[in-house]
Amino acid sequence: MSKIEELAHAVEIGKAKLVPGLVQEALDEGNAPIDILNKGMIDAMAIVGDKFKKNEIFVPEMLIAAKAMKKGVEVLKPHLAGDNSAKIGKMAMGTVSGDLHDIGKNLVIMMIESTGYEVVDLGIDVPVERFMEAASDPEITLIGVSALLTTTMPAMQETVAALNKHPRRSEFKVIVGGAPITPAFAEEIGADAYSDDAASAAETAKALAKK
């Protein structure tokens, strides 16, 4: 079994104590940080999701897998983040009201920070009012909205609708994403941009900063 396969298995079964060491060993073996993230952790979470769907595991197992992944990301973070010395904008990002998933949001924040954005993390279960308040900060140039559940897509729609009426709307862009979100949905609800993963969200954020 390769180190990345060992890591993926440890994430899948929620071995939070083993995961940081396995990430370090995978790095020491010369594996690319992005492969460790994608193949060693994100793919493992997809397996966890599939097992949950098939009733093979339940919420507590999903939670311990999530905790294990977070421990691994802590080790990987300095290796994924680039040079962010030149500030290109300020972003506020959160997961919508009713939604408690934050691993994807945290990865998106990490990658966008690496492009030079200062990011205010609004957290999870963020009410529309909190997004509106964040958008009032005169330095904010980008708002990120994440949703992981089909049942919280309407909350994303409400959030973007409210942001679209914000008095500062012409001064910031809105980017949305998360597993159930599609480019068509993003367009339908009036977001400026959609990205399907953290790396492309960082590319999109960089491009939006130039507009």
Binding site for ligand B1M (CB under 6 A): 42, 45-46, 48-49, 52-53, 59, 62-63, 66, 93, 98-105, 107-108, 144-146, 148-151, 175-180, 195, 197-198, 201
SS3 23: helix
Smallest gap, in angstroms, from Cβ of residue 164 to ligand B1M? 16
SS3 165: coil
Tell me which amino acid residue 208 is: L
- CA atoms of 206 and 122, how far apart (whole Å): 20
- Closer CB to ligand B1M, residue 85 or residue 90? 90
- Closer CB to ligand B1M, residue 30 or residue 106? 106
Smallest gap, in angstroms, from Cβ of residue 130 to ligand B1M? 15
**Token pair listed for 84:** 């962010």
Backbone angles phi, psi at 120, to 5 degrees: -95, 120
Place of tokens 């729609």: 157
- Closer CB to ligand B1M, residue 10 or residue 45? 45
Q: What is the 3-state secondary structure (H, E, C) of 57-96?
A: CCHHHHHHHHHHHHHHHHHHHHHHCCCCCCCCEEEEEEEE
Smallest gap, in angstroms, from Cβ of residue 86 to ligand B1M? 22
- Closer CB to ligand B1M, residue 53 or residue 211? 53
Smallest gap, in angstroms, from Cβ of residue 29 to ligand B1M? 23
Give strand ranges (E) for the chain.
89-96, 117-126, 140-146, 173-177, 193-194
Place of tokens 């001064």: 171
Terminal CA-CA length for the chain? 47
- Closer CB to ligand B1M, residue 3 or residue 105? 105
**Token pair listed for 167:** 């008095």
- Closer CB to ligand B1M, residue 19 or residue 85? 19
